[in-house]
Amino acid sequence: VYVGGGTPSLAGERLVKLARRISMWCKPVEFTCEANPESLTSQLTAALAGVGVTRISLGVQTLDNAELAAIGRIHDADRALAAIATVKNAGLDVSCDLMCGLPGQTAASWKSTLDGVLTAAPHHVSVYPLTLEEGTPLYRMACRDESLEPDEDFQAACMDVARERLSSAGYHPYEVASYALDGHECAHNIAYWTGQGYLGLGRSAAGMLDTEDFDRLAGLFPDVPARGDAHRVRLVQRDDGATAFEAEYLSHREAAAEDLMLACRMTRGIGPELLVHSASVITADELAAACDRALELGLAAWVPDHAEGHVGCVTSKDVIAGRARARLAPTHLGWLDGNMLFELFWGLA
């Protein structure tokens, strides 16, 4: 279970009641609530732990106070570090979100933020390049002052520094934006990138169900028609009462292409089972051509499927036909320039 979007910690005791109610219906192995440092108290953290929450995702963003002010955050670095300690003291896992490419950010301030977070020793760190969303105050400011627009080369350099420093400290990169100590990977995030279904509840929440699950839960979506040729349904709730949903239907082929694309976000890449399965929906020649193009562009490489394995002269057609076992994993270039890699496989839709 993941309670996020906006700042759930602002709800205070109402968030505790929600978490308690969820725990009455199910016992999640991972139960995350998002929070911002300024609205997370030790009392709230302890109460959430008491009703089954296991993990807090903190919007730290940066430990430079000038950068925090520039993006309209109302906490400071000391409050962020105190919030990390509060979550750890309550016995919960803590994840920190960091952003690079912020207005006024420098290579030195980014390294200082990484060092400060590593000293606080959270269990999980996510690193995102800043993107300006239309309609936000920062977007409007950047329209007036081009110097506020994120520099993609600087962001790429920051992502490289983050990978180097976090990896050296024992955080392994398991997804394009995510680093974790062993055993603390985010199951919720992994579900997104491995084609698992999920139910999104709340205004603007997105869900994804295969048609079997959609049929089983059809009572939740009385105004959403089933479609016989669909293999997957994406739903977005458009009101507060869970009565209005928008639906997007994906064919079997589109769902397979989507799974291939999203697997490229994972450090493990596209496994042999997914490649073999996809070849039953997308022609083997088309799939092999996309794999070969990724190899040719240096965006991906064949790696052993298991730690003790090895890759010799593997061909795309051999793996797709099930005659060889290997994973198509993103290279360093494929990690930094993921959109090009994603487009190769979504193009198969």
pLDDT tens by residue, 58-87: 999 999 999 999 888 999 999 999 999 999
Residue 307 has pLDDT above 70, yes or no: no
- Neighbour tally for 328: CB within 10 Å: 30
Residue 58 Cα distances to 22, 45, 105, 334, angstroms = 21, 12, 20, 28
155-171 pLDDT per residue, tens: 999 999 999 999 999 99
Domain extents in the chain: 2-191, 196-250, 262-346
What is the average pLDDT score of the chain?
A: 93
Rounded (to 5) percent helix, strand, coil in the chain: 45, 20, 35
What's the confidence (pLDDT) of residue 246?
A: 94
Tell me the whole-structure pTM to 2 decimals.
0.92
Architecture of the domain whose range is 2-191: Alpha-Beta Barrel (3.20)
pLDDT average, residue stretch 94-123: 97
With 80 as the cut, is the pLDDT of residue 273 above it?
Answer: yes
Q: What are 233's strand-pairing partners?
A: 209, 249
Q: How far apart are CA 109 and CA 129, in angstroms?
A: 15
Q: What is the predicted pLDDT for the residue at 144?
A: 81
The closest of 265, 274, 198, 264 to 237, measured between CA atoms, is 198
* pLDDT range class, residue 134, cuts 50, 70, 90: confident
Cβ burial 144-176 (10 Å sphere, 16+ → b, else e): eeeebbbeeebbbbbbebbbebbeebebebbbb
Output 218 or 126, whichever has higher pLDDT.
Answer: 126
Give the residue-averaged pLDDT of 339-343: 95
pLDDT at 279: 95
- In angstroms, rounded to a whole number, what is the distance separating the alpha carbons of residues 257 and 114? 36
Q: What is the pLDDT of residue 136?
A: 76
In the chain, the largest separation of any two C-alpha atoms, in whole Å, equals 59
Share of the chain above pLDDT 90, in %: 80
Sheet holding 178-180, edge to edge: 2-3, 32-35, 55-61, 93-100, 124-129, 178-180, 172-175
What percent of the chain is modeled with pLDDT above 70? 98
The answer to whether residue 308 scores a pLDDT higher than 60 is no
Q: What span, in angstroms and rounded, lies between the C-alpha atoms of 135 and 142?
A: 11
The answer to whether residue 37 scores a pLDDT higher than 80 is: yes
Give me the pLDDT at residue 310, please: 65
Least confident of 71-85, 297-311, 318-332: 297-311
pLDDT at 276 over 90: yes
Identify the pLDDT of residue 64. 97
Q: What is the pLDDT of residue 309?
A: 66
148 pLDDT above the threshold of 80: no
Average pLDDT over residues 296-300: 97
C-alpha to C-alpha distance for 160 and 29, rounded to whole angstroms: 32
Higher-confidence residue of 144 and 20: namely: 20
